[in-house]
Structure 1
Amino acid sequence: MIVITTPTGQIGGRLLEILLNETRTRGEELRVIVRDPGKLPDAVRARVDVVTGSHDDAEVVDRAFTGADAVFWLVPPNPQAPSLAAMYSEFSRAAAKAFTTHGVGHVVGVSALGRGTPVADRAGHVTASLAMDDLIADSGVAYRALANPTFIDNLLWQVASIRDDGVFTGTDAADHKGPVVATRDIAAAAADLLLDRSWTGTGEVPVLGPEDLSPNDLARIMSDVLGRPIRYERQTFDDFRKALAGRGMADALVQGYLDMMRAKADGLDGGVRRTPQTASPTPFREWCEQVLKPAVQA
């Protein structure tokens, strides 16, 4: 049995779709942990075992991990978390204990690039995510952390600005190239690991996307796909702070994003070389055609 957390999110939802298709002929059972089962389509609820609740709850993970062979682990966003440690490691602590209690064989988690780089210990959310990986690995379970750069899909938060003003923003220098990845590629990498389970021990699986791109590159490709000029405007860190705080985000999380973006500018995502094994298939242009353009036109 495979247990899936965040089954209605961008990554977890796509993963669930993949596993439902793949397990149709394999006979593999699927179980999901979800706060609101009503967000699952009826056809999905009919094919999975549903445990209702939050996966930081010891009683919930105790029920969910009973009889489980593998778990997909993703910490959901919590804008009001009192600290980064609370958002990542403390949220995961009950599950780490339950992995051992129930003899879960394999866990695949969503994490970040940066381990081993000079800025890894001052990278905000990334530093906290890597500490969570260590907590899970220390439980003794076979663990693979999907080490990801910036998600392409984060641009969907700026659809209104792209559509109405032809503008997207960020804190990177306009010509600073780095890896970006589509969330659907992360889900596919997770599915491969969860369905295989021949791996042992602990480690990272980088998911780098097929290309390094700068904000200027993103603007050029979006302009081509959308058929009108799209430009990049660089934010100051102070403006970025104000924007996050304006969304009601807790101070500790705002600071965590600022620290993460500074670390990315200082090479956080550059420690892993792209190879056929670390690259993932979705180029930015294809994502724009299949995801961004329909969202802008909706």
Structure 2
Amino acid sequence: MKITVKGSTGNISKPLTQKLIAAGHTVTVVSSNADKAAEIEALGAIPAIGNITDVDFLTTAFSGADAIYTMVPPNFGATNLRAYMNQAGEAYAQAIKNADVKKVVQLSSIGAHLGEGVGPIKGIHDVEGILSKLDGVNIKFVRAPFFYTNFYGNVDMIKHAGILGNNYPADARLIMVHPKDIADVIFEELQNNFEGKSIRYLYSDESTPAGAAKAIGQAIGKPELPWVEFNDEQALAGLLQAGIPEEMSKNFVEMGTAVRSGAIWEDFDAHKPAQKSAISLETFAEEFASRF
């Protein structure tokens, strides 16, 4: 098959592209970064360099594809994150229509059943709604939970403050996934003959923030690494101090409140997969330690 993949050479798209090429598919990889073209070619894929809000560019990248994988990458420079995500969703929808694509696998998120109170996931909720209006297009929304790899953003916190923390308590639920496990599910769905619009949840492990801190702490030789709950103001101040722009920081804090309340997990619980994906929290913790 001819398949177009969004996500450049990221944590999901790179292993996904490698698996698709190994399976004999012809793959075009969409990236906004021209510097990635050589790396994409080295994978055996065809680079398509352009902006995901550019309908003409996307139409060309999607034309002739039997299936496409789409996602909206974070835009830390957006002054209105939700509006940016809606713009990207509308561009995807128009390009899918223009190119007459019939099969789409869209990366979504746990919490996308909610249109408010979930930070950046509000925009993902909107994108699901925009794409769902496309007639005659089969779409699988893959709703992923908290990425293990988000913990790489806490390396400085661990090294300088000796803690892990956020604006939810140590005993909150934390449902997590490895990007490679997401790549495996998307690889599978791109080759499945699904019809209509449907949602698929996945997860690699379930624990708590305290459990995550313990696993990571043991792996890096800091077995007493604690999880510290911040209030919302402290969490916002910490993100701003770390250089995260205000719009994104406020969205992250709001998402933390949904973890704290448990609202983010409600629809997942109603449709929980029978089996976990492959990579456990402890396995990721060893991976984290190797890069710490």
Q: What is the TM-score normalised by the length of structure 2?
A: 0.90
Deviates more, 1:214-223 or 1:227-236: 227-236
Deviations 1:243-295 (A, max 9, x none): 33335544433322222211221121143233325x32211001111x20111
Question: Is 2:191 aligned against 1:195?
Answer: yes
8 Å CA contact 2:16, 2:183 repeated in 1: yes
Corresponding residue SS for 2:91: helix
1:110 CA drift (Å): 1.4
CA distance in 1, matches of 2:89, 2:251: 18
1:29 match: 26
8 Å CA contact 1:133, 1:145 repeated in 2: yes
Aligned amino acid, residue 268 of structure 2 = V
2:50 match: 53
1:95 match: 92
CA distance in 1, matches of 2:105, 2:282: 28
Deviations 1:151-201 (A, max 9, x none): 1110011123334554222222011123111111111111111122x0011
Deviations 1:41-97 (A, max 9, x none): 557447222211122211210210111111111111111212132231112212211
Deviates more, 1:262-271 or 1:183-192: 262-271
8 Å CA contact 2:75, 2:81 repeated in 1: no
Corresponding residue SS for 1:75: coil
Task: Identify if the C-alpha distance between structure 1 residues 43 and 209 changes in structure 2 by more than 3 Å, giving closer, same or farther.
Answer: closer
Question: Is 2:223 aligned against 1:226?
Answer: no
Corresponding residue SS for 1:3: strand
Gap regions ≥5 residues in structure 2: none
1:224 CA drift (Å): 2.4
CA distance in 2, matches of 1:247, 1:54: 27
Aligned amino acid, residue 122 of structure 2 = T
8 Å CA contact 2:170, 2:208 repeated in 1: yes
The 5 Å alignment of 1:160-179 reads 160-163=156-159, 165-179=161-175
8 Å CA contact 2:56, 2:95 repeated in 1: no
1:139 match: 134
CA distance in 2, matches of 1:82, 1:224: 39
Corresponding residue SS for 1:10: coil
8 Å CA contact 1:167, 1:233 repeated in 2: yes
CA distance in 1, matches of 2:28, 2:165: 39
Corresponding residue SS for 2:105: strand
Aligned amino acid, residue 134 of structure 1 = G
Aligned amino acid, residue 39 of structure 1 = K
CA distance in 2, matches of 1:111, 1:247: 26
1:4 match: 5
8 Å CA contact 2:30, 2:61 repeated in 1: yes
1:228 CA drift (Å): 2.6
Deviations 1:216-259 (A, max 9, x none): 11122123222333222222211211233335544433322222
Corresponding residue SS for 2:69: strand
Task: Identify if the C-alpha distance between structure 1 residues 142 and 238 changes in structure 2 by more than 3 Å, giving closer, same or farther.
Answer: same
8 Å CA contact 1:7, 1:16 repeated in 2: no
Aligned amino acid, residue 13 of structure 2 = G
Question: Is 2:73 aligned against 1:84?
Answer: no
1:292 match: 288
8 Å CA contact 2:93, 2:134 repeated in 1: yes
The 5 Å alignment of 1:101-116 reads 101-116=98-113
Gap regions ≥5 residues in structure 1: none
Q: Percent identity?
A: 21
1:213 match: 207
Aligned amino acid, residue 274 of structure 2 = P
Question: Is 2:123 aligned against 1:125?
Answer: no
CA distance in 1, matches of 2:8, 2:273: 30
1:261 match: 256
Task: Identify if the C-alpha distance between structure 1 residues 244 and 87 changes in structure 2 by more than 3 Å, giving closer, same or farther.
Answer: farther
CA distance in 1, matches of 2:219, 2:200: 31
CA distance in 2, matches of 1:58, 1:234: 43
Q: What is the TM-score normalised by the length of structure 1?
A: 0.88
CA distance in 1, matches of 2:81, 2:266: 23
